[in-house]
Amino acid sequence: MSFLTNRRLRPNFVIILFINYFACAQITKDRDTISHQIFKDGNEYFHVNIPSIPLNYYVYKFKMSEKNKLNAVFANNTIPDFKRLTVPKVANNQHTNKTIAAINGDFFSYKSGELEGFQVSDGIVTYGHIDKVKYGINIDFKNHIQLDSVYFTGSLKTKKEIYPIKGVNTLKYKDSTNSIILFNSFVNIDSVIHNHHSFVLLEKNDETFHFVKEIVKLPKALKKNHYLLAINTPTTRAIVTQLKKEQAFTINTILKRKKDDKPLQLSTHISGGIPLVYNNAKVTSNSEISNSYRGKKHPRTAVGVNKKENIAVWIVADGRSDSSSGLNYNDLAELFIENNCENAINLDGGGSSVLWLNGKIKNIPSDKKGTRPCLNYLLLSH
């Protein structure tokens, strides 16, 4: 093969590449299907074991439809209060629809307790911030699913001015000297530190917003149709005065597609890591193969999409144990290509990796203390 004849490659790097190639070959053979189920709704589940690696991984396939409703939620449903719960706990707490399957979601910071990416739930941006482009799962209002790179943008528009909004329901900019942050009606704002910001309570009627009052003491929660602006800019007083004078103004928070800056009308979004598969090809390079996290085997959670047939594929792999070593990015991508996915994305892994199906955890989470509490989740319900 060409990489073996490249004289510039160091010997140890060639060994890494060869081992990776050999592992990928093993992924596609010597497999024992321990369990295979096709449910009444047409959804399909596999548990596969490869003793020679060793490896245990789990595949769940379903067609997006009105029957199979996929949504992104926080531990407290749509309230981003940075509480962390286990996947089974959250799946069992959803009373509005019957949750049949669930997996862990985006990467999150243990230090700040905030998500790395964005989230849209029921058509509303429930968590977003500027300065990042994230690859993620997009679901429109017709239940079509696809993966794409997106970024957050927000603005407050009066008759005379347009003010940028830096984030929704985030504390990332609480110490910023030039920020406007929107907290919508879902947020629990007990943890907001307001040493620097002025707070304005707003009410939404139809598509416009109205000034209610400026407040000093923060409420424990916001009433329906109430929103909160946290303002800290060189012209804070001028902005507050302008909002008082306006009879109505608009606020727009949305995710846009990176490649063409198109605003996306989404019912659901959840961000993740880098693409694993893009346009039917693995998204890997030599540098990624040797990377300590992407190139090594770990427990994984990932989502693939067959856009033409509107099918989603979840793959969860056990790891860090004698019975299952885990997967690296190349191996994981190989499995999605085999499952006819045009695109695939890696979500949070390691001890966070959990597949919950019909009331039971199907995989063996790697944390010794038990199932790890996570920050957000993908739930499939009927």
SS3 267: strand
What domains does the chain contain, in order, with CATH numbers? 2-66+272-381 (no CATH), 123-262 (2.60.120)
Strands (DSSP E) found in 86-206: 99-104, 119-121, 124-129, 133-140, 145-157, 162-164, 167-168, 179-183, 198-205
What is the C-alpha to C-alpha distance for residues 160 and 144, in angstroms, rounded to an integer?
A: 38
Collect all residues with Cβ–Cβ distance below 8 Å to 27 and sequence separation of at least 6.
50, 53, 55, 331, 334, 335
pLDDT of residue 9: 34
Residue 170 has pLDDT above 60, yes or no: yes
- Phi/psi of residue 237, nearest 5 degrees: -65, -40
Q: What is the pLDDT of residues 141-157, one digit of tens each?
A: 999 999 999 999 999 99
Distances (CA, A) of 168 to 80, 201, 223: 10, 15, 17
Collect all residues with Cβ–Cβ distance below 8 Å to 240 and sequence separation of at least 6.
198, 200, 214, 231
SS3 89: helix
Collect all residues with Cβ–Cβ distance below 8 Å to 10 and sequence separation of at least 6.
none
What is the C-alpha to C-alpha distance for residues 129 and 164, in angstroms, rounded to an integer?
A: 11
The band of 1, judged by pLDDT with boundaries at 50, 70 and 90, is very low
Q: What is the pLDDT of residues 311-369, one digit of tens each?
A: 999 999 999 999 999 999 999 999 999 999 999 999 999 999 999 999 999 999 999 88
CA 13 to chain centre: 33
Q: Which of 43, 46, 253, 266 is nearest to 147 (CA)?
A: 266
HSE, side-chain direction, 13 A CA sphere, residue 352: 22
Question: Is the pTM here over 0.85, yes or no?
Answer: yes
SS3 289: helix
What is the C-alpha to C-alpha distance for residues 182 and 227, in angstroms, rounded to an integer?
A: 7
The string of DSSP letters for 335-380 reads: HHHHTT-SEEEE---GGG--EEETTEE-S----TTSSPPBSEEEEE
What is the C-alpha to C-alpha distance for residues 14 and 110, in angstroms, rounded to an integer?
A: 36
Q: What is the pLDDT of residues 208-250, one digit of tens each?
A: 999 999 998 888 788 889 999 999 999 999 999 999 999 899 9
